[in-house]
Amino acid sequence: MAQWQTQAFRELHTPVADVLGARTAKDLEKLRIRTVGDLLRHLPRRYLSGTELTDLATIEQGEHVAVMAKVSRTQVVHGGRNRPSRLEVTLTDGQGYLAVTFFGREHLVEYWQRELGKGVRGIFVGKVGQFRDQLQLTHPEFVMLDAAGAIVGSSEKKQLIATMSRTALVGMYPATAKLPTWKVAECCRLALATLSGADDPWPDWVLDAADLMPLADAFAAVHQPRSLAEAEAGAHRLRFDEAFATQLTMAYRRADASTHTAVRRPVRAGGLLDALDARLPFALTDGQRAVGDTLFAELDRPRPMQRLLQGEVGSGKTVVALRAMLAVVDAGGQCALLAPTEVLAQQHYATIRALMGDLAGGGLLGAPEGSTDVVLLTGSMPAAARREALLRAASGEAGIVVGTHALLNEKVQFADLGFVVIDEQHRFGVEQRGVLTDKASARPHVLVLTATPIPRSVAMTIFGDLDISTLAELPAGRQVIGTVVVDAARRPAWVERAWQRVAEEVAQHRQAFVVVPRINSSDEGTGVVDLADQLRAGPLAGVRVGVLHGQLAADAKESTMAAFAAGELDVLVATTVIEVGVDVPNATMMVIWDAERFGISQLHQLRGRIGRGEHPGVCLLVSSAVENDTIRERLDAVAATNDGFELAELDLIQRREGDVLGAEQSGARSSLRLLSVLEHADVIAQAKTIAGRAVERDPGRTTPGFVDAVLATEQLMSGDFLELS
């Protein structure tokens, strides 16, 4: 249990079960609410004034809504024998109408009719359905308001939303079927009553610098506002707190890193780095050389490197990282490359060994003098191979160890770990970086790679403790990829033509990927296994078709990928396990099935697997949902440009950071509750500046509120880490 230094943090980290009971706490879990602080930061989506009616034209089928409307008419339809009666209600906003239906015994229907007749307006909460082409609510929960805005009806409902009767504003909260908006409001009222009004966690100078209201006032302002301006001022305070806690943690991490020593790893002439450069089958780009020089300079410092390298798909980040690793090996250290999946780890291992050739033959007869061993370590390796890899890492014979989460195991030891490369950092919990670097006696240098271009506002939030380098230039000879959207619903002949196009590519001794968003078929669409069978039996009969997905055994995945890379398979039908790192130069075509299931950046990542050889690439985005304007815009954007940085900005605008940083993009929930990195970049920037001043004023971290904020942020990051482990 955390030892909070301030009363405010202690109260805000109280489990909601202690305040509201276990049953309500369980219902709140669905809203990601576990503590009093979570609940009080669960803000209304919007506020209705006492006279404002909901625009009924804006609601959609399937939406869970809370609407304020007038009752236009009611009609009781009496049931026959063994059939319930029903009450048909028509709501209006003054222009449009919405049907509401209640079913029940005669006395219940009459009771509902009386309740609905008592008020001038009502708040109705339920899921929007459809009956006879008309939108309707069935059995919504409701509360009626009189002409003065006071609640009428049962005393229970008066108690549930007592806060609403004391204000001209009614907060409409994100809710669930079991917790409609007024029950959430009551939960917030009870939680507010538990706060003692203790001193603010931030020093006065922070409140003054950011022009903030006190924390207790902010919570009251958002949940019991007297005006919209007051509600916004309270929300601003809470958004700042979220930004400040993150930026304060990052600032202390940067300060902490500057106090640690690292072993200097200067470039040595005539070593493995020079030998690799001499045999590379391509010329390095100016960007690769410039970033390389930056890395070499930082490796030669007595302070640990902390750098993020982001690059366009195919920009050559692996070569940049390998050159830095060999400089460290030349200087006597070892390197670890951590990848998020076994397929990617195996691909990195194969790529590094292919680039190095006999330079990776350390310990083998005939290997050049000064060569090193490159080993692979994954969780599914046979026991004997795993023991051998562990021994080579621990003895120092392996200069480069490539692996997955298996590298984080406590049994993995290094002789002199000098450099850690983490690929696709956003797929790991932030704390995993620390788990690996703690395996070194001195702090190793750290380089994080990502092939997903990161908008500045996101980078500032998530990678605030890292310096950032960018590779935007593509190597010479990288082919243009043409992308076309295929409307499978309205133009099924285009789908047939797509498979013909794949067959034509194979006939020219080239290869193709078919990417499917799911392994097994379901109501949502065809799975990878069934689609492969359909292709073998139909349009691609006679073509060598392989299947690759995450549920295959490790040896099956490895052998399938190896067969495709060797040209023994013509078409690989796969899930997104091939999204990053897979390099098959002969693959010139990709069909992405149900493309609407992927985000913009992910589509761009997938597309980057082709056009890596001497022939241009063709990518077909097949979708049955392109009549949806948002989906069509997303797919057309990918088809219109190959600029990953432009697409990353559009991705952020379309999907919001909750998905960009969260489940849809990386397999983990977003840790941002109130902040939108798109809308609140100015708040984040202000918090970053003030956090820097906070560390300067309190380098020893003695301010109680600062201590608590960093602890809470680290716990949240560790929670994300545990979810991914």
Residue 720 has pLDDT above 50, yes or no: no
Residue 725 has pLDDT above 80, yes or no: no
Mean pLDDT of 131-136: 87
Which sequence spans correspond to the domains of the chain? 46-172, 272-471, 481-641
Which among 506-510, 596-600, 685-689 has the top mean pLDDT?
Answer: 506-510
- Check if CATH label 3.20.20.70 holds for domain 272-471: no
376: left (phi over 0), alpha (psi -120 to 50) or beta: beta
CA distance 681 to 678: 6
What is residue 451's predicted lDDT score, i.e. its pLDDT? 73
546 vs 424, residue with greater confidence: 546
- Check if CATH label 3.40.50.300 holds for domain 481-641: yes
Residue 650 has pLDDT above 80, yes or no: no
Reported as a single tens digit per residue, the pLDDT across 306-360 is 898 988 777 788 899 999 999 999 999 999 999 888 878 888 898 899 899 989 8
CA distance 454 to 645: 7
Reported as a single tens digit per residue, the pLDDT across 661-677 is 333 333 333 456 787 76
Give the model's confidence band at 152: pLDDT under 50 very low, under 70 low, under 90 confident, else very high: low
Nearest to 285 by CA among 18, 477, 107: 477
Percentage helix, strand, coil, to 5, in the chain?
Answer: 45, 20, 35
User: Worst-scoring range by mean pLDDT, 389-403, 501-515, 604-618?
Assistant: 604-618
Q: What is the pTM of this model?
A: 0.65
Mean pLDDT of the chain: 84
Residue 413 has pLDDT above 80, yes or no: yes
Specify the DSSP class assigned to residue 595. Answer: G
The residue ranges of DSSP E strands in 94-251, in sequence order, are 97-104, 121-131, 134-138, 141-145, 151-152, 169-172
What is residue 380's predicted lDDT score, i.e. its pLDDT? 83
460 vs 316, residue with greater confidence: 316
Domains 46-172 and 481-641 are alike in CATH topology: no
What is residue 664's predicted lDDT score, i.e. its pLDDT? 34
User: Worst-scoring range by mean pLDDT, 99-113, 489-503, 604-618, 661-675?
Assistant: 661-675
Mean pLDDT of 687-691: 94
Specify the DSSP class assigned to residue 579. Answer: S
Give the model's confidence band at 226: pLDDT under 50 very low, under 70 low, under 90 confident, else very high: confident
Mean pLDDT of 29-42: 92
What is residue 657's predicted lDDT score, i.e. its pLDDT? 41
User: Worst-scoring range by mean pLDDT, 5-14, 383-392, 402-411?
Assistant: 402-411
pLDDT above 70: percentage of residues in the chain: 85
Reported as a single tens digit per residue, the pLDDT across 355-399 is 999 898 776 545 567 789 999 998 888 889 989 999 999 999 999
What is residue 424's predicted lDDT score, i.e. its pLDDT? 67
User: Worst-scoring range by mean pLDDT, 265-269, 342-346, 485-489, 622-626?
Assistant: 342-346
Mean pLDDT of 161-183: 68
Q: Which H helix or E strand runs over 503? A: helix 492-507
What is residue 346's predicted lDDT score, i.e. its pLDDT? 86
Burial 97-107 (b: 16+ CB within 10 A, else e): ebbbbbebeee
What is residue 395's predicted lDDT score, i.e. its pLDDT? 92
Residue 436 has pLDDT above 70, yes or no: no
Residue 530 has pLDDT above 70, yes or no: yes
Give the model's confidence band at 654: pLDDT under 50 very low, under 70 low, under 90 confident, else very high: low
Q: Strand 467-471 and strand 398-403: pairing? A: unpaired
User: Worst-scoring range by mean pLDDT, 139-143, 475-479, 557-561, 603-607?
Assistant: 475-479
Question: Cβ(552)–Cβ(560) under 8 Å?
Answer: yes
Q: Quick one: three-class SS letters along 140-176?
A: CEEEEECCCCCEECCHHHHHHCHHHHCCCEEEECCCC
Phi, psi for residue 240 in degrees, rounded to 5: -60, -45
Reported as a single tens digit per residue, the pLDDT across 622-641 is 998 877 777 888 899 899 98
Phi, psi for residue 339 in degrees, rounded to 5: -120, 150
CA distance 184 to 172: 9
Specify the DSSP class assigned to residue 367. Answer: P
What is residue 241's predicted lDDT score, i.e. its pLDDT? 95
Q: How many residues does the chain have?
A: 725
Q: Taken in order 607, 610, 612, 617, is the CA torsion positive or negative?
A: negative
pLDDT above 90: percentage of residues in the chain: 44
Residue 426 has pLDDT above 50, yes or no: no
What is residue 117's predicted lDDT score, i.e. its pLDDT? 81
Residue 84 has pLDDT above 70, yes or no: yes
CA distance 416 to 334: 6
Nearest to 610 by CA among 646, 574, 635, 560: 574
In angstroms, the first-to-last Cα distance of the chain is 21
What is residue 373's predicted lDDT score, i.e. its pLDDT? 93
Mean pLDDT of 481-499: 92
CA–CA distances in Å: residue 21 to residues 18, 140, 157, 709: 6, 25, 19, 27
176 vs 211, residue with greater confidence: 211
CA distance 548 to 277: 34
What is residue 53's predicted lDDT score, i.e. its pLDDT? 77
Reported as a single tens digit per residue, the pLDDT across 185-212 is 889 989 999 988 778 999 999 999 999 9
What is residue 428's predicted lDDT score, i.e. its pLDDT? 44
Which among 73-87, 402-416, 690-704 has the top mean pLDDT?
Answer: 690-704
Nearest to 105 by CA among 81, 74, 142, 79: 79
CATH for the stretch 46-172: 2.40.50.140
What is residue 165's predicted lDDT score, i.e. its pLDDT? 43
